[in-house]
A = this chain, B = another copy of it.
Amino acid sequence: MGIKFELFHQEKDTSARLGKLTTRHGEIETPIFMPVGTQATVKSLTPEELKEIGAQIILANTYHLYLRPGSKLIAAAGGLHQFMHWDRPLLTDSGGFQIFSLSELNQITEEGVYFKSHIDGSRHFISPEKSMEIQMELGSDIVMAFDECPPYPSDYNYVDKSLELTLRWAKRSKEAMTAEDQALFGIIQGGIYPELRQKSVEAMVEIGFPGYAIGGLSVGEEKELMYQVLDFTTPLLPTAQPRYLMGVGTPEDLIEGVLRGIDLFDCVMPTRIARHGAVYTSRGRITVRNAEYERDFTPLDEQCNCYVCRNYSRGYIRHLLNRKEILGIRLTTYHNLHFFLALMHQVRLAIKRDQLLEFRKEFYRNYRI
């Protein structure tokens, strides 16, 4: 199925677990955070920099790459790895989430989705088969099944109906994914409804995938509600396969997710807020472009020893951001991703020692949400 997943350790008092995912492009230690490279680039950084800060796998967006430059062009370039000069594992989403959140939807049918591009209004149709075709052209190591993503909030009956469609699409995705070196993950939907999450898990496991994603979270619901959904959903999932919580989240979400048994995360947050001049520090998030940092010649985070914190001050980075200098965005992006990846490294160490709850306590001693 393209990947191998090994579990090394399961914490005694929590659902946190330590594992290793092996793909044809190398190994991934889990739990892990995946930086997002929407348009075949993790915004502002080179692959070498991503490796320097410990990125083991990155994510790219099928919807964006299908529209521009086109998956056929990327296939002609030798696939996405070759196109973007990234030789480590790559995960692509199915395009579903972006079709439902970015494009102008025309019609959802049994066959697939008709939509207009958010860029030029051009008309497109994507089905499970088409999504698999695109992802095979991209050549990612982990491929996501095509799903419908109902908006939040949606009522029980709508989510139930949508879930059924997603299940039929998951079966078709599996049939259509014929590349032996690409691993297809199923996506659990069901909104905030325990029975629907259970129904989704059972049916997806029956279809059988080498990994399962939890979709439809971090879409506007309260954090506590998201954690509750994880509380009742992850225990239903088989332990032998990796679990991926899609589009989540903040540092606290990562810790809470790992405690509930999640292995993979992705989120645009660290790269997006970096472009708006905000950075994560061991004391919480700060907006370094604010006037209060004008004459602050200390590093972004005194506790951090990344390239940025070793060499640049808040005052300098503020100057760059306010002058709209590209280097400013590079430095905040680099630091934020380093923060997330270093956090996950610490989380893995803590799990190894059965100390993740202590780690969480220690983390919140300084960190203000």
- Contact residues of A with B, CB < 8 Å? 39-41, 43-46, 68-69, 73, 76-78, 83-85, 294-295, 297, 311-313, 315-316, 319-320, 322-323, 325-327, 329-330
Contacts and interface: CB of A to CB of B under 8 A. Distances in A.
A43 to B, nearest CB: 6
Contacts of A69: 294, 315, 319
Given A69-B294, A319-B69, A330-B46, A41 B325 contact: yes
Nearest to A85: B311
Contacts of A319: 39-40, 68-69
Nearest to A76: B295
Given A69-B294, A311-B85, A77 B326 contact: no
Contact of A326 (B40, B43, B85): B43
A189 B319 CA distance: 34
A322 B70 CA distance: 13
A327 to B, nearest CB: 5
Given A76-B295, A78-B297, A46 B327 contact: yes
A146 to B, nearest CB: 24
A68 B297 CA distance: 16
Q: How many copies of this chain?
A: 2
A197 to B, nearest CB: 36
A312 B48 CA distance: 13
Q: Is the interface of A mostly helix, strand, loop or mixed?
A: loop
Contacts of A326: 43-44, 326, 329-330
B68 A327 contact: no
Contacts of A41: 320, 325, 327
Contact of A327 (B44, B315, B323, B327): B44
Nearest to A333: B326
Given A40-B316, A83-B313, 18 more contacts: A39-B323, A40-B319, A40-B320, A41-B320, A41-B325, A43-B325, A44-B327, A44-B330, A45-B327, A46-B330, A69-B315, A73-B315, A83-B315, A85-B311, A85-B312, A85-B316, A326-B330, A330-B330
Contacts of A77: 297, 313, 315-316
A83 B316 contact: yes
A170 to B, nearest CB: 31
A43 B44 CA distance: 13
A236 to B, nearest CB: 40
A47 to B, nearest CB: 8
A154 to B, nearest CB: 32
A85 B41 CA distance: 26
Given A78-B297, A85-B311, A68 B323 contact: yes
A312 B83 CA distance: 7
Contacts of A39: 319-320, 323, 325
Contacts of A295: 73, 76
